[in-house]
Amino acid sequence: MILREIASWRYSICAVRDDICEFKAWQVIRKRKRTMRMGLRILFFEDRRTMVCTTGFLKPSVTPEAELDEAVRLRDVYFDHKRAGSLHLLTGWGV
């Protein structure tokens, strides 16, 4: 994908449920007289000044409930480990 293609994507951020937010990015693609909408979604939650991403996926039209359920579960696990003092944060690419 070239930079010009990435720049043509549209995006928005909205709250979904249970303090889970969704980053939406999409692009309308026209090929051979057909119009398709390609979408990328990243679910995340906030911990003070930190955004914690739970899942990312390509999506057809509606965010699957299973993805939202998994994001809520991961948020609960994150805060359980944080309260217990057993949370280890790794940063950087390829961790």
- What does the pLDDT profile of the chain (95 residues) look like in tens digits? 444 555 567 788 889 888 999 998 887 767 777 766 678 889 999 998 888 999 888 876 678 888 899 999 999 999 999 999 998 877 777 65
- Report the relative pairing of strands 10-17 and 50-59 from DSSP bridges: unpaired
DSSP three-state, residue 55? strand
- What secondary structure does DSSP assign to 27-47, as a single string? EEEEETTEEEEEEEEEEEEEE
Burial class (CB in 10 A: 0-12, 13-18, 19+), 43: buried
Read off the pTM.
0.74
